[in-house]
Copies of this chain bind each other. A is one copy, B any other.
Amino acid sequence: MTELLWGGPPARSRGPKPAITLAEIAAAGIAIADAEGLDAVSMQRIAGELPVTKMALYRHVPGKTELVAVMSDIAMGPPPERPDLPWRKALHTWALDLYDGFTRHPWLLQSTIGRRLLGPNELLWMERGLAALAGTGLTGGEQFDAILVVTSHVRNIAQQSTTFPGHTTGLTAEEMQQSLAAILTTEADRFPHLTAAMRTSAGSENQGLEFGLQRILDGLDLLVRRRVAVPDGVETFPIEGRR
């Protein structure tokens, strides 16, 4: 499995020339997932796009799980090159780049959840995120946690704002808003704060990405300033509300 993600094309020896390559299989899968969603990707369907039958795919890939992992790493691609910037701006553009990737391939939100083997591109994204934080004085663990919280936010905003192609069980943002409004007309007394918040939130959609990002960066900034003031990492200024 690690070989699939990290190894190049396998050394060929005897036997018939393969009619297809792993890269072609992955490309076909990515095309289907982009156009019709991850649920539309089946071994049958992929084979239909290639000059082979379903079972031939298993000569190149141990199973669907592994294939999706390869597809995911390829579709994610490496992070775009960016000039060196102060950590905050660097992490900010990193987050926007990540968001871009998820909107280009919404199915990545489904295929890259949970603990799994990481591919070279995914690791490269992580590397770039950590690079942004390298000079901040945060410990390694804190750096990991920091890019994790940024990634979480980006993922969930993308999850919420993206429309999934072919995903039958998905409402549009309007349908959701509408059904919520309908419920609140009859149940307003059970949800007073929700009702109130809805009234003062009209027209302020799609601000979620920047809003959360700025809060997180503000919070990180506070910590970084403390770390710079006390480089050995001892916590000197207890902050109200911190455990």
Judged by a CB distance under 8 angstroms, whether A193 is at the interface is yes
- A151-186 CB mask vs B (1 if < 8 Å, else 0) is 111011101100010010111110110011011000
* A222 CB contacts on chain B under 8 angstroms: 215, 218-219, 222
Q: How far is the CA of A199 from the CA of B156 in the complex (A)?
A: 30
* A223 CB contacts on chain B under 8 angstroms: 215, 218
* A146: min CB distance to chain B, Å: 7
Which of A22-30, A48-56, A134-142 lies at the interface with chain B?
A134-142
* A160: min CB distance to chain B, Å: 7
Q: A141 near B218 (CB under 8 angstroms)?
A: no
Judged by a CB distance under 8 angstroms, whether A242 is at the interface is yes
Q: How far is the CA of A126 from the CA of B205 in the complex (A)?
A: 17
Q: How many residues of A contact B (CB 8 A)?
A: 86
Judged by a CB distance under 8 angstroms, whether A212 is at the interface is yes
Judged by a CB distance under 8 angstroms, whether A58 is at the interface is no
Q: B144 near A197 (CB under 8 angstroms)?
A: yes
Judged by a CB distance under 8 angstroms, whether A239 is at the interface is yes
- A232-243 CB mask vs B (1 if < 8 Å, else 0) is 000000011111
- A206-219 CB mask vs B (1 if < 8 Å, else 0) is 01101110111111
* A99: min CB distance to chain B, Å: 13
Q: Closest B-chain residue to A208, C-beta based?
A: B145
Q: Which of B65, B116, B215 contacts A216 (CB 8 A)?
A: B215
Q: A197 near B143 (CB under 8 angstroms)?
A: yes
Known: A141-B201, A218-B223. 12 other contacts (CB 8 A): A89-B241, A114-B160, A118-B180, A123-B183, A127-B193, A142-B204, A149-B156, A149-B208, A149-B211, A151-B156, A215-B219, A216-B216
Q: B215 near A146 (CB under 8 angstroms)?
A: yes
Q: Which of B115, B155, B176 contacts A152 (CB 8 A)?
A: B155
Q: How far is the CA of A131 from the CA of B155 in the complex (A)?
A: 25
9 residue pairs from A and B, CB less than 8 Å apart: A115-B173, A127-B192, A140-B197, A140-B199, A146-B211, A149-B211, A149-B215, A152-B153, A218-B241
